[in-house]
Structure 1
Amino acid sequence: MRKLIYIIAILTIVSCSGKEELPKGIIPPEKMALILSDIYLAEHKAANISLKPDSSKVVFRHYELKILEDYNTNDSVYKESFRYYLEFPEKLEAVYDIVIDTVSLREQVENAKKKQK
């Protein structure tokens, strides 16, 4: 099911955007959207753990680094890519449209799984 979410997200970004060249070292929009989706979900998980705020931040940072590793990138490339998208609001908006769709779809899948149990 996770692959379906990725495929939908990638198809959405490809169909909505032209084939503009990105500067070297910038994460492509579809991959950036998937990373951000995972990071926001990890942030939600960390915030809902019954820990002190400082401890929750440590847990979130662990999640964040694991996500970046899973996407074969690192913190500096992620931050530089985020700065790049901040300079181009229309590109950032397209990325966040995919993030919203991806997170919503994941939530629907989780809710469907819970109802089946």
Structure 2
Amino acid sequence: MRKLIYIIAILTIVSCSGKEERPKGVIAPEKMAVILSDIYLAEHKAANIGLTQDSAKVVLRHYELKIFEDHNTNDSIYKESFKYYLDHPATLEAVYDIVIDTVSLREQVENAKKDKK
């Protein structure tokens, strides 16, 4: 399934890419999509563990730092990359298409695991 996500991601990015090169230091669209997916899932976890809003923010920050570590990046590179994608809406749309597909697929896998139990 992971291969399918990457194939979809690559095809989407290739079909939407123009002549403009991505600056050095900007996270690749495929990797950005995976990071965003992980962050959205972490936000969901942090919001649903029964903590106060302030405590949930602290937990989310720890999740984010772990996600950045897992993807060999940091929050400043992530923020600069996000700014770049905000300035390039077509590429950002392609990234979010991958995010939506990734989160949906993960949800389907989780639901399938729950149904088996």
Whether the aligned pair in 2 keeps the contact of 1:10 and 1:30 (CA below 8 Å) is yes
Which amino acid in the other structure matches residue 52 of structure 2? K
Equivalences for residues 75-114 of structure 1 within 5 A:
75-114=75-114
Q: What TM-score comes out, normalization by structure 1 length?
A: 0.92
The share of aligned pairs that are identical, in percent, is 69
Q: Which residue of 2 aligns with 1:23?
A: 23
Which amino acid in the other structure matches residue 88 of structure 2? F
Whether the aligned pair in 2 keeps the contact of 1:37 and 1:99 (CA below 8 Å) is yes
Q: Deviations over 1:59-116 (max 9, x none)?
A: 0000001001000000100000000000010000000000000000000000000000
Whether the aligned pair in 1 keeps the contact of 2:46 and 2:59 (CA below 8 Å) is yes
Q: Deviations over 1:23-80 (max 9, x none)?
A: 0000000000000000000000000011110000000000001001000000100000
Whether the aligned pair in 2 keeps the contact of 1:37 and 1:102 (CA below 8 Å) is yes
Q: Which residue of 1 aligns with 2:55?
A: 55
Whether the aligned pair in 2 keeps the contact of 1:9 and 1:30 (CA below 8 Å) is no
Structure 1, unpaired ranges of 5+: none
Q: What TM-score comes out, normalization by structure 2 length?
A: 0.92
Structure 2, unpaired ranges of 5+: none
Mapped to 2, the partners of 1:26 and 1:9 lie a distance apart of 21
Q: Which residue of 2 aligns with 1:37?
A: 37
Q: Secondary structure at the match of 1:17?
A: helix
Q: Which residue of 2 aligns with 1:69?
A: 69
Which amino acid in the other structure matches residue 88 of structure 1? H
Q: Which 4+ stretches in 1 moved above 6 angstroms?
A: none
Q: Which residue of 1 aligns with 2:9?
A: 13
Number of residue-to-residue matches in the alignment = 113
Mapped to 2, the partners of 1:61 and 1:93 lie a distance apart of 25
